[in-house]
Amino acid sequence: MIQKENILKEAIYKAVRSGGSGGQHVNKVATCVQLFFDIHQSEVLDENQKNKLNKSLRNRINSEGILILECSESRSQAQNKKMVGDKFFNLLIESFKEKKRRIKTHTPTAIKEKRLKEKKLKSEVKANRNFRM
């Protein structure tokens, strides 16, 4: 298993200005933290882990093979840095987990018949509403 400290040492952090509400504080302080991680250049990950990451996180990885995450939830840059590091590590752990294969099931006949019976009753109730005068 990978060590959190070792993998976070390979990550590059960059502080940028946050968007959204917050008034004067947001306009002058760079509290949003972006994390950049080059998957192909990583020395902590082996080839199998790199392939798993490329497959499971392909929507978050740019064309150069760099994973980019950002956090701007807090007004504190240090807190955002910690939060994006935790988010990154949890994302790695989730992508390394083996996915359980879904076992196909079928709906029992009794349940199908019950549903159709309830639909029929509901239909009759609605149909009877029209004939009152």
Each domain of the chain, given as residue ranges in start order, spans 4-96
Phi then psi for residue 65, to 5 deg, are 85, 25
How far CA 126 is from CA of 114, 115, 120, 132, in Å, comes to 19, 17, 10, 11
Supply the angle between the helices 47-56 and 77-96 in degrees, to the nearest 10.
100
Tell me how far apart the alpha carbons of residues 89 and 100 are, in angstroms, rounded to a whole number. 21
Q: Taking the model in full, what pTM does it have? A: 0.69
CB 79 within 8 A of CB 13: no
Q: Do 92 and 39 form a contact (C-beta atoms < 8 A)? A: no
One digit per residue, pLDDT tens: the chain, 133 residues?
Answer: 678 888 888 899 998 887 766 667 767 788 889 999 999 898 888 899 889 888 888 888 898 889 999 998 888 889 999 999 999 999 999 988 888 899 999 999 999 999 999 999 999 999 888 765 5
CATH number for the domain formed by residue range(s) 4-96: 3.30.160.20
